[in-house]
Amino acid sequence: MIKNPKAKITQAVKKLASNHRLILTGTPIQNNVLELWSLFDFLMPGFLGAEKVFLDRFAKPIAASRFSKASSKEQEAGALAIEALHKQVLPFLLRRLKEEVLNDLPPKILQNYYCDLSDLQQKLFEDFTKKQGKKIQAEAGREDKEAKQHIFQALQYMRKLCNSPAMVMKPGSTLYDETQKILAKQGTSIEDVQHAPKLTALRDLLVDCGIGVEGSDSNDPLYQPIKPHRALIFCQMKEMLDMVQNKVLKELLPSVSHLRLDGSVEANKRQDIVNKFNSDPSYDVLLLTTSVGGLGLNLTGADTVIFVEHDWNPQKDLQAMDRAHRIGQKKVVNVYRLITRGTLEEKILNLQRFKIDVASTVVNQQNAGLSTMDTDQILDLFNVGDAAPNLLADKEKNNIDGREEDMVDIETGDVRVPGKKAWLDDLGDLWDNKQYEESFDLDDFMKTMS
DSSP 247: I
Show Cβ contacts of residue 114 under 8 Å, excluding neighbours closer than 6 positions. Answer: 339, 340, 341, 400
Query: Which residue, 160, 56, 95, is CA-closest to 440?
Result: 160
Phi, psi of 72 (to 5 degrees): -60, -35
- Distance in angstroms (rounded) separating the CA atoms of residues 89 and 365: 14
CB distance 167 to 236 below 8 Å: no
Residue-level pLDDT, tens digit, the chain, 450 residues: 787 888 899 899 999 999 999 988 876 666 678 888 998 999 999 999 999 999 999 888 888 887 767 888 988 888 898 888 888 888 888 877 776 777 788 989 999 999 999 999 999 988 888 887 777 766 666 666 676 677 778 888 889 999 999 999 888 888 888 899 999 988 999 999 999 999 999 999 999 999 987 654 445 555 555 678 999 999 999 999 999 999 999 999 999 999 999 999 998 999 999 999 999 999 999 999 998 876 678 999 999 999 999 988 888 888 899 999 988 899 999 999 999 998 888 888 877 776 666 666 666 544 433 333 333 433 333 233 333 333 333 333 333 333 333 333 333 333 333 333 333 333 334 444 555 455 445 566 556 555
Q: In the prediction, which pLDDT does 69 show? A: 76
CB 196 within 8 A of CB 183: no
Q: What is the DSSP string of 178-210?
A: HHHHHHHHTT--TTSGGG-HHHHHHHHHHHHTT
For the full predicted model, state whether its pTM sits above 0.85.
no
- What is the per-residue pLDDT for 313? 80
Order across the sheet with 231-235: list the strands: 108-115, 333-340, 304-307, 231-235, 285-289, 258-261
179 phi, psi to nearest 5 deg: -65, -40
**Amino acid in the structure at residue 84:** A
Residue 35 has a pLDDT of 86
Q: From CA 83, how far away is CA 157, in angstroms rounded?
A: 39
Q: What pLDDT was estimated at residue 26? A: 72
Domains defined along the chain, listed by start: 8-92 (3.40.50.10810), 108-213+225-358+374-447 (3.40.50.300)
- What does the pLDDT read at residue 147? 66
Phi, psi of 403 (to 5 degrees): -75, 155
The per-residue pLDDT for 448 is: 56
| pLDDT tens for each residue of 29-66 | 666 788 889 989 999 999 999 999 999 998 888 888 87
pLDDT score for 139: 64
